[in-house]
Amino acid sequence: MQEGDSFKIIQGEGITYPQGIKASGVKCGIRLNKKDLALIYSEKLAEAAAMYTTNKFKAAPLLVTEKNLAESQGKLQAVVINSGIANACTGEKGLKDAWEMANYVSQGLKINREYIAVASTGKIGDFLPLKKIESGLKEAISKLSTLGGTEAAEAILTTDTKKKEVAVSFKLGEEEVRIGGIAKGSGMINPHLATMLAFISTDISIDQKLLQCALEQAVGKTFNMISVDGDTSTNDMVIVLANGLARNRRIEKKEEDYYKFYQVLYYVAEYLAKSIARDGEGATKLIEMEVRRAVSFSEAKKVAKAVINSSLVKAAIFGNDPNWGRILAAVGYSGAEIEPHKVDLYLKEKIVENGQPLSFSREEIHKYLEFSKEIKIVIDLKMGEESATAWGCDLTYDYVKINTKYN
């Protein structure tokens, strides 16, 4: 989906672009000389939807957020996020600490605790420095602003090299609806979901169950289709807040307005997902893996994720090596329903047809791999009508360095 008549990209904006959304990002001392504490606040209680990691060692903040959303019947007003420490595998103390973070926000903003989501990202197994967080939250609350989105986007980063934020607007009837988002993620990326956090705000008026439905569908084809290193984290979550301040006719069933909203939400999720894949630890190239004409989306997804997760494929892309055999090998072990004699492979051009190699210039493909920052691979299974796209990055020397030396 591209910008056009259906929506407009707003440059320089992010999570605070929708009406009634404020944010801040501060240094509280968890990380050395870096912002490490973010706060997102909706002036009006918002409908909320969320999705979480499938890792069974689910971190304490996710347990708090899940419980709060259940108790509030899907409503939130604030999200607090710290970076540097994951508060995962920390037992009863970690859970108590996550509740304390929610308490600090509740007291500072004078809102009910069940209306607060908590998120953490960073090193597993360490305990949170609660005194630093309590002090930092006082500052974060005092600095809440419609201009604070970029600071929040910076404060949630860990090994990321750049902020990830996006904002768009579109019309529902005569009303302008706004959506903004921020995300973090660089390593331990292999959703459902992985070390990635994404926070999306919108001023649309929508039923909570439909908001959850739209989020689940969008995540399934965006955040759950990225991979940096094949590891699934303990902490990942995606949260959407919808505060209704756009004053559009409330969306209460799946009709035209719902699908318009879904398409724009999908664009925001895809933009953030690709930004995460592009900024993978040590990455030099974004890889897009498109699978065409599979018998179902799930079968197409198996192929796309197998190729994008392959260390051999990722290393070949880094080395500018047109080793198409590694790609077909991944297709073959994906577990998907395929007929090898039908498979076509494109890497800049068609280089395999009906499972057999074509004559092509290795030098030209090498140049394409060497000088392109975005590499596209296409597999055409020629078995059905469904497609899927996954995103990842190359595997470089720096990935190993980053994951042995970090703070």
Tens of pLDDT, residues 337-349: 999 999 999 999 9
How many C-beta atoms surround the C-beta of residue 124 within 10 A?
A: 17
Residues with Cβ within 8 Å of residue 220, at least 6 apart in sequence = none
Q: In angstroms, rounded to a whole number, what is the distance separating the alpha carbons of residues 6 and 77?
A: 29
**C-beta separation of 384 from 293 below 8 A:** yes
Alpha carbon 132 to its chain's center: 28
**Where is average pLDDT lowest: 29-43, 282-296, 318-332, 389-403?**
389-403
Q: Would you place residue 3 in the very low, low, confident or very high pLDDT band (cuts 50, 70, 90)?
A: low
Q: With DSSP H G I counted as helix, E B as strand and the rest as coil, what are the percentages for the chain, rounded to 5?
A: 35, 30, 35
Percent of the chain with pLDDT strictly greater than 70: 91
Contact 391, 275 (CB under 8 A): no
Residues labelled catalytic: 195
Contact (CB, 8 A) for 261 and 218: no
Q: Is the pLDDT of residue 243 over 70?
A: yes
Go through the domains of the chain in sequence order and give each one's CATH number.
8-276 (3.60.70.12), 286-402 (3.10.20.340)
Q: Which residue has the tokens 């000389």?
A: 33
Instruction: Report percent pLDDT > 90 for the chain.
Output: 80
pLDDT of residue 192: 38
Lowest mean pLDDT among 209-218, 301-310, 330-339, 394-403: 394-403
Tokens 């720096």 correspond to: 398
Residue count of the chain: 407
Beta bridge partners of 346: 350, 378
pLDDT of residue 189: 40
Q: Which amino acid, one-letter code, is at 169?
A: S
For residue 22, is pLDDT > 80? Answer: yes
Strands 8-9 and 196-202: unpaired
pLDDT value at residue 230: 46
pLDDT of residue 75 exceeding 80: yes
Distances 27 to 14, 32, 136, 152, 163 between C-alpha atoms, Å: 20, 9, 7, 11, 16
Between 161 and 198, the more confident residue is 198
